[in-house]
């Protein structure tokens, strides 16, 4: 079986940045980009304009940005495999990684498989309907798009993310509605108060989204009041899911320790996981910041941690 010093699993900003650093350190990394598990490039492949990634003052689209990351990783000799990792045996070193068509033994691994924003299966919100045509799961990525300017916008959820996204959207929309299925927010008290006091935010309590309609973009939503059991239709230009994220850790098969929120545990201030020689970067270990630039930063940290660990333990 083939062997590599370092395998990187995942191809968002964290994975590609780890690859740039590792490849420049002559670790000749293998990078599994994924295939069925999600597009190579991760969550940014499903966003439009990225205006907050430093170095691109005029903005850049998510897919363009990720192609640049990928090109840079390749330039220094990263070997890319466009396939999913099915399993990893973390019980002995080198670690045995089984991809869908290749296998490799790796002395160290960086896990950068990201997280997936949860979406609801509601008519009108799916791919091919109004997904990315007014329906998104990231207000901070997409909220500034022209279709949302001075329009009524709806955020689904009652946690800190929903409140934060609603507050962010007040810069763009005419009015922001938070649709929450209960009569109390889950968000922290301070965030909840901010939302309730904000003149441009209204909370639609005990409400669930039933349907999204439009022409080429979103125009209308159907909302059910779950207490009165009535349905109303409202003018809408944007629907933003903020109902949490799920880290992409299924293939790990419960072999690594998780934190209290179910994300991969890393030793604070480092990228070391609970398993010697295994490092984690990006959204798979970050339930708080979840930005491309923070993911890239932690990808760099993971490559440096892995390089030092290999120098000590791997004889490189
Ligand atoms: P949370 O899990 O805290 O909240 C998810 C919200 O979505 C809940 O209100 C939940 O409703 C609602 N929800 C879940 N599933 C459904 C569904 N099927 N239909 C309708 N509503 C649904 O996730 P967040 O992303 O908000 O936060 C994750 C973590 O990140 C939290 O610990 C949070 O504190 C932290 N965070 C902190 C921030 C900050 O401090 N600035 C900013 C953002 C996040 P219900 O309440 O009924 O369960």
pLDDT in tens, 163-193: 999 999 999 999 999 999 999 999 999 999 9
> Rounded to whole angstroms, how far apart are CA atoms 21 and 176?
42
34 and 134 assigned to the same domain? no
Per-residue model confidence (pLDDT) at position 47: 65
Distance spanning both ends of the chain, measured CA to CA: 20
Buried b (16+ CB within 10 A) or exposed e, 205-227: bebbbeebebeebbeebbbbeee
**Are residues 180 and 291 both part of a single domain?**
no
CA of 163 to the centre of ligand 1 (A): 9
Q: What is the pLDDT of residue 49?
A: 72
Ligand 1 midpoint to CA 288 (Å):
11
Considering 187, 220, 241, which residue would you say is the last residue of a domain? 241
Q: Whole domain around residue 306: which residue ranges? A: 3-116+245-312
pLDDT at 316 over 70: no
If asked whether residues 171 and 101 sit together in one domain, one would say: no
Give catalytic residues, as residue numbers: 138, 141-142
d(CA 191, CA 258): 26
Taking the centre of ligand 1 as the mean of its atom positions, its distance from the CA of residue 234, in whole angstroms, is: 24
Segment 4-12 mean pLDDT: 97
Which of 61-65, 143-147, 299-303 tops mean pLDDT? 299-303
Say whether both 156 and 170 belong to one domain. yes
Q: What total number of domains does the chain contain? A: 2
Distance CA 8, CA 42 (A): 14
The CA distances from residue 67 to 19, 78, 79, 80, in Å, are: 14, 14, 15, 13
Pocket of ligand 1 (CB under 6 A): 120, 156-162, 164, 181-182, 186, 243-244, 287-288
Same domain flag for 66 and 42: yes
Same structural domain for residues 234 and 97? no
Q: Among residues 241, 260, 293, which one ends one of the domains?
A: 241
Ligand 1 atom 28, closest CA: 244
The verdict on pTM exceeding 0.95 is no
Question: Are residue 170 and residue 107 in the same domain, yes or no?
Answer: no
Q: Which atom of ligand 1 is nearest to the CA of 158?
A: 9
Q: Which of 117, 137, 140, 161 to mutate to test the pocket of ligand 1 (most atoms within 8 A of CB)?
A: 161
Q: Say whether both 123 and 235 belong to one domain.
A: yes
Centre of ligand 1 to C-alpha 212, Å, is 22
pLDDT score for 90: 97
The predicted pLDDT at position 45 comes to 77
Chain centroid, CA 269 distance in Å: 20
> Max alpha carbon distance in the chain (Å)?
68
Helices H / strands E in the chain, number of each: 6, 19
Do 219 and 296 share a domain, yes or no? no
192-249 pLDDT, tens digit per residue, is 999 999 999 999 999 999 999 999 999 999 999 999 999 999 999 999 999 988 999 9
**Do 97 and 129 fall within a single domain?**
no
Atom of ligand 1 nearest to the CA of 261: 32
Q: Which of 241, 273, 292 is the last residue in one of the domains?
A: 241
Q: Which atom of ligand 1 is nearest to the CA of 182?
A: 47
Q: Which atom from ligand 1 is nearest to the alpha carbon of 184?
A: 46
**What's the CATH number where 306 sits?**
3.50.50.60
Residues contacting 58, CB < 8 A, separation 6+:
none
Nearest CA to ligand 1 atom 23: 244
**pLDDT given for residue 46 in this prediction:** 63
Question: 175 CA to middle of ligand 1, Å?
Answer: 21
Q: How confident is the model at residue 141 (pLDDT cuts 50, 70, 90)?
A: confident
* Same-domain status, 132 and 63: no
- Using the predicted structure, report yes or no on whether residue 315 has a pLDDT greater than 60: no
On the question of pLDDT at 38 being above 90, the answer is: no
Q: Are both 151 and 251 inside the same structural domain?
A: no
The β-bridge relationship of strands 238-241 and 135-136 is: parallel
């Amino acid at each position: 079986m083939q062997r590599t010093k370092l395998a990187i699993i995942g191809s968002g900003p964290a994975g590609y940045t780890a690859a740039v650093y590792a490849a420049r350190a002559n670790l000749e990394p293998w990078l599994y980009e994924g295939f069925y598990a999600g597009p190579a490039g991760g969550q940014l492949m499903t966003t439009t304009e990225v205006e907050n990634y430093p170095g691109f003052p005029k903005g850049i689209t998510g897919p363009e940005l990720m192609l640049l990351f990928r090109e840079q990783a390749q330039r220094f000799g990263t070997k890319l495999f466009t396939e999913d990792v099915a399993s990893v045996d973390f019980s002995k070193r080198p670690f045995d990684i089984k991809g869908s068509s290749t296998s490799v033994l790796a002395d160290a691994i960086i896990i950068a498989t990201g997280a997936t924003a949860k979406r609801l299966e509601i008519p009108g919100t799916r791919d091919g309907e109004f997904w990315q045509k007014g329906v998104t799961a990231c207000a901070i990525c997409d909220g500034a798009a022209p279709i949302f300017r001075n329009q009524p916008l709806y955020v689904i959820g009652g946690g800190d993310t929903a409140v934060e996204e609603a507050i962010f959207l007040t810069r763009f929309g005419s009015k922001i509605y938070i649709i929450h299925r209960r009569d109390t927010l889950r968000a922290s008290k301070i965030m909840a108060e901010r939302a309730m006091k904000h003149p441009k935010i209204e909370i639609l309590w005990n409400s669930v989204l039933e349907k999204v309609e439009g022409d080429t973009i979103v125009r209308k939503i159907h909302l059910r009041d779950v207490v009165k059991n009535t349905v109303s239709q409202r003018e809408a230009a944007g629907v933003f899911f903020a109902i949490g994220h799920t880290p992409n850790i299924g293939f790990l098969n419960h072999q690594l320790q998780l934190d209290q929120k179910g994300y991969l545990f890393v030793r604070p201030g480092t990228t070391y996981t609970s398993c010697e020689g295994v490092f984690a970067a990006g959204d798979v270990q970050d339930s708080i910041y979840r930005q491309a630039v923070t993911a890239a930063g932690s990808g760099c940290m993971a490559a440096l941690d892995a390089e030092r660990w290999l120098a000590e333990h791997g004889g490189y």
